[in-house]
Amino acid sequence: MPREARAAAATAARAGGPNIVKVQSAVNASLARDLPQTLGGDFLTGLRFTLVPAR
């Protein structure tokens, strides 16, 4: 995981607790699984979804 992604995950964990991290992880797993199937190949790779709390 890139340094920026680790920092974003740590910030999300501190700001919104484990629920944000769980949602973020689920979306990232879904993207990794669904995008290649939907697009018919690995056209988009390394995408990471980062959820941040609204202020």
Per-residue confidence at 5, pLDDT binned at 50, 70, 90?
A: low
User: Residue 17's pLDDT band (boundaries 50, 70, 90)?
Assistant: confident
Between 9 and 28, the higher pLDDT residue? 28
Would the pLDDT of 34 be above 90?
A: yes
Asked whether the predicted pLDDT for residue 1 surpasses 60, the reply is no
Cα distance between residue 53 and residue 55, in whole Å: 6
What would the two tokens of residue 20 be? 């944000």
What pLDDT, in 10s, does the model give residues 36-46?
A: 999 999 999 88
Q: What is the C-alpha separation between 1 and 6, in angstroms, rounded?
A: 6
Name every residue whose Cβ is closer than 8 Å to that of residue 24 and which is 6 or more positions away in sequence. 9, 12, 49, 50, 51
Burial of 16 (0-12, 13-18, 19+ CB in 10 A): middle
pLDDT band with cut points at 50, 70 and 90 for residue 13: low
- Domain ranges for the chain, please list them: 3-39
